[in-house]
Amino acid sequence: MPDFIEEKTAVTQIGSDAISASEGPILAPVLAIETSCDETAVAILDAQGRVLVERVLSQFADHAPFGGVVPEIAARAHLRHLPAMTRAALSAAGLRAEDLGAIAATSGPGLIGGLLVGAGFGKGLALAAGRPFLAINHLEGHALTARLPGLVAEPVRFPYLLLLLSGGHCQCVAVEGVGRYRRLGGTIDDAVGEAFDKVAKLLGLPIPGGPALERLALTGDANRYAFPRPLHGRAGCDFSFSGLKTAVAQVIAQLPEGPIAAFTVADIAASFQRAVADVLADRAAHALGAMPEATVLVVAGGVAANQTIRQSIARVAARHGLALVAPPLRYCGDNAVMIAWAAIERRRAGLAEDGMNHRPLPRWPLESLSIS
Ligand code: KG4
Ligand code: ZN
């Protein structure tokens, strides 16, 4: 059975943006669904962005025997759990579907099977309850999480620099407003989370590889292996991780036959993590140079949970006189709170379109959402 992580959280601070009284249903709560990868998540937020209910079901145990996420298994697991999770979320919030202002679901980018399940379920619920359906971009959810009311003392204001560091994405984005995203650079090969997962696999660690590698690195010597820092010091804000992953594979291949000593595994993990942190810090510095108007530096995505990486990037932000805003760990990885919040931000900005005819998209770049 998968791990079941269930939380009910009340966030105290209320968002300050004014909401027009004439917009009626915009004042009602929003229910959101996230099924783009291997987490089934449901959340309900009130119109101010306060979290009423949040539920995340991780499928690690289902995928572990295969050493990675199997799309077909993920889609079937979403299908199995989504109805009961949604019912439980509504009941915990004391709401009926008819009471909602809107129903939102991640509609891309991601694994198409899961997206079809989540968006199809959301559309069905919206039709049955006579509520609007909103098709939300997963990356926009990560991009706007830092603005969730109550997360940080000073509300995050536009424009800000976003470092999106996840399993499928690695990019620097100038976030100029809701629906206004300018890509400054991105990976030319692997995403940073993908590199963590591949190196973790090479080291024989269980999935999810990123957190397992970080735990192991705590006990390792980060100076033992001088792994390359791809694109470090180069102009621009692009990333590259496949050469680093190959360098780790070569070091492992040159070790003596037989099981690798535990301290060597830890040293490789620590040295790899150090190299990634250095590269990300360098790329963040370049991106900040390209965006002098940034008010704050925001990190998001699963890899933003990594403490070594957070510290390196925080030092860069401080050198530019900026604060680093990183969501709490449970909002770094995939969750439905960020999808509900993106839906609320879109509704407030007058950008929420009817998503009933939206076709889920496995690829859906953030900058394609941009309004002029
Ligand atoms: O944002 P996310 O939950 O899903 C995607 O949209 O991709 O990110 C998942 C990725 C995985 O590659 C996972 O290994 C990585 O984030 N990750 C980490 C850590 N926690 C999750 N990588 C490094 N250190 C961590 N603590
Ligand atoms: Zn994600």
Mutate to test the pocket of ligand 1, among 187, 196, 205, 213 (most ligand atoms within 8 A of CB): 196
pTM of the shown model:
0.91
Span from the CA of 210 to the centroid of ligand 1 (angstroms): 6
The token pair that represents 350 in the structure block: 């007058």
- What are the structural domains, with CATH classification, of the chain? 6-145+332-369 (3.30.420.40), 158-326 (3.30.420.40)
Rounded distance between C-alpha atoms, residue 265 and residue 216, angstroms: 8
Q: Tally Cβ neighbours within 10 Å of residue 263.
A: 12
Half-sphere exposure of residue 190: CA atoms within 13 angstroms, side-chain side: 17
pLDDT per residue, tens digit, the chain (372 aa), is 333 333 333 222 223 233 332 233 678 999 999 999 999 999 999 999 999 999 999 988 888 888 888 999 999 999 999 999 999 999 999 999 999 999 999 999 999 999 999 999 999 999 999 999 999 999 999 999 999 999 888 889 999 999 999 999 999 999 999 999 999 999 999 999 999 999 999 999 988 899 999 999 999 999 999 999 999 999 999 999 999 999 999 999 999 988 899 999 999 999 999 999 999 999 999 999 999 999 999 999 999 999 999 999 999 999 999 999 999 999 999 999 999 999 999 999 999 999 999 999 999 999 999 765
The H or E element containing residue 298 is: strand 297-300
Nearest-CA residue for ligand 1 atom 16 is: 302
Pairing mode, strands 160-165 and 51-58: unpaired
Cβ density class 238-259: b for 16+ within 10 Å, e for less:
bbbbebbbebbeebbeeeeeee
Specify which residues 164 forms β-bridges with: 171, 300
Does ligand 1 lie within 6 Å of residue 209's CB atom? yes
Q: How far is the CA of 16 from the centre of ligand 1 (A)?
A: 31
Cα dihedral 316, 318, 323, 325 sign = positive
Return the residue whose CA atom lies nearest to atom 3 of ligand 1: 333
Would you say 140 and 1 are in contact if contact means Cβ atoms under 8 Å apart?
A: no
Ligand 1 within 6 A of CB of 301:
yes
Ligand 1 atom with least separation from CA of 300: 1
User: For ligand 1, is residue 114 a contact (CB within 6 Å)?
Assistant: no
Q: Max alpha carbon distance in the chain (Å)? A: 72
Residue located nearest, by CA, to atom 14 of ligand 1: 210
